[in-house]
Copies of this chain bind each other. A is one copy, B any other.
Amino acid sequence: MGKLFHVLEAQQFSKEWLENEFFPLSLEMEKLVKTGEPELLSKYSLSGKRMVRLFWEPSTGTGFSFDIGMHRLGGAVFASDHAGDTAMIKGEALEDMIRRIAAFGPDVMVLRTPKEGMAKLAAEYSSVPIINAGDGWGQHPTQAGTDLFTVKKEKGGIEGLHYVIAGDLRGRTPRSLAYLVAKFPGIRITFVAPVGDQIGDDVKEYLNRHEVPFKEIIDIMDAAPEGDVFYITRIQKEREKLLRSVERHGLVEAHSPKANWKADQGLLRAIKKDAIIMHPLPHEDEIAPELDPKVCKDRRVAYLRQSENKLYVAMAFLYYAIRK
């Protein structure tokens, strides 16, 4: 089944594919949505095609971007937001679930799974393309595609920029972004994370191998004047609890200064005139209310435009998986 176009991890994509195929196709999808041009609709039509979306937990953002994206292209959607319930209640192995559903003849399967590696395992057993829409602490390659597409649109290109990636860096979103952006020449990365949430050694080793300069700091303000893209993420709740318990006992204070990665008016005043602030959403208080696009008209706050791009990128991935 090696010829299927699975979307499993960010590093599977080359710079050339992203620039020559993926970004132009995503732009076409945006045009299709915004103009509804019949030629585009018929050129990219997935009419008669079927997407199965198997999510172990509900996600309205990613879920609806694929559901609505598939429908925009004329295809049919079969979605379960509780695939894990069946699996858990009945003890069904992932391999069996994937093969059983694949036998019903969908044209693509979009998976959100609770554990790293599950999307890859699914691909080994599937007779149809698998799109990994997040596998636990593993990766979220379609989010990384959205993120780079956003940078491309907002900044004109990916190369040569300074990326400040901040927050809970063990999450799949910053991981996938670091893996993907490392393919572009001239970039550098500054990671901002509290103790215990630093970027993983696998990512650092990968960056070293690709000769991408990076550093790790604990206060986003130190990178403010130099950054081009500020990519903020939230602390995963379960981790935050741990962090607070550590703080309560004074351990963080004792061993290291507190981290700061908040996006607020202070940050906005300190960053370049053409920098952008991104966030994969949902956010918590790491984005200050004063930066909400409802009240803040500063174009540098880009996260809602980034969120909209999820739709066009989902459509591009679906088209590739099914038609290419």
Binding site for B on A (CB under 8 A): 33, 50, 52, 54, 57-61, 63-65, 67-69, 71-72, 76-78, 80-83, 85-87, 89-93, 95-97, 99-101, 103-106, 125, 234, 237, 281-284, 292-294, 304, 307-308, 310-311
Q: Complex: how many Å from CA A93 to CA B100? A: 34
Q: Is the CB of B294 within 8 A of A97?
A: no
Q: Is the CB of B68 within 8 A of A281?
A: no
Q: Complex: how many Å from CA A308 to CA B50? A: 17
Please, could you name 23 A-B residue pairs with CB atoms under 8 Å apart, sorted by A? A52-B64, A52-B68, A57-B89, A58-B85, A59-B86, A60-B100, A60-B101, A61-B86, A63-B80, A64-B78, A65-B104, A82-B82, A90-B234, A90-B282, A91-B234, A92-B281, A95-B294, A96-B281, A96-B282, A96-B283, A100-B281, A100-B307, A100-B308
Q: Is the CB of A71 within 8 A of B50?
A: yes
Q: Complex: how many Å from CA A286 to CA B306? A: 48
Q: Is the CB of A83 within 8 A of B58?
A: yes
Report the nearest B residue to A303, measured CB to CB.
Answer: B96
A57-B85, A91-B234, A103-B304 given; name 12 further pairs at CB < 8 Å. Answer: A50-B71, A54-B60, A58-B85, A64-B80, A69-B104, A71-B76, A81-B82, A91-B282, A91-B284, A95-B292, A100-B281, A103-B311
Q: Complex: how many Å from CA A284 to CA B82? A: 20
Report the nearest B residue to A124, measured CB to CB.
Answer: B294
**Chain copies in the assembled complex:** 3
Q: Complex: how many Å from CA A89 to CA B282? A: 10
Distance of A226 from chain B, by nearest CB (Å): 29
Q: Which residue in B33, B82, B101 is a CB contact (below 8 Å) of A64? A: B101
Q: Is the CB of A104 within 8 A of B308?
A: yes
Distance of A317 from chain B, by nearest CB (Å): 15
Given the contacts A63-B80, A86-B59, A99 and B68 also touching, CB distance less than 8 Å: no
Q: Complex: how many Å from CA A65 to CA B95? A: 17
Q: Which residue in B90, B103, B237 is a CB contact (below 8 Å) of A307? A: B103
Q: Complex: how many Å from CA A100 to CA B146? A: 14
Q: Is the CB of B83 within 8 A of A60?
A: yes
Q: Which residue in B60, B85, B234 is a CB contact (below 8 Å) of A97? A: B60
Q: Complex: how many Å from CA A57 to CA B87? A: 12
Q: Is the CB of A60 within 8 A of B80?
A: yes
Q: Complex: how many Å from CA A63 to CA B292? A: 32
Q: Complex: how many Å from CA A89 to CA B59? A: 10
Distance of A296 from chain B, by nearest CB (Å): 13
Q: Which residue in B67, B91, B105 is a CB contact (below 8 Å) of A311? A: B105
Q: Complex: how many Å from CA A307 to CA B101? A: 9
* Chain B residues positioned under 8 Å from A292 (CB to CB): 95
Distance of A233 from chain B, by nearest CB (Å): 12
Q: Which residue in B78, B86, B92, B237 is a CB contact (below 8 Å) of A68? A: B78
* Chain B residues positioned under 8 Å from A78 (CB to CB): 64, 67-68, 71, 77
* Chain B residues positioned under 8 Å from A104 (CB to CB): 64-65, 68-69, 308, 310-311
Q: Is the CB of B60 within 8 A of A105?
A: no
Q: Complex: how many Å from CA A310 to CA B102? A: 12
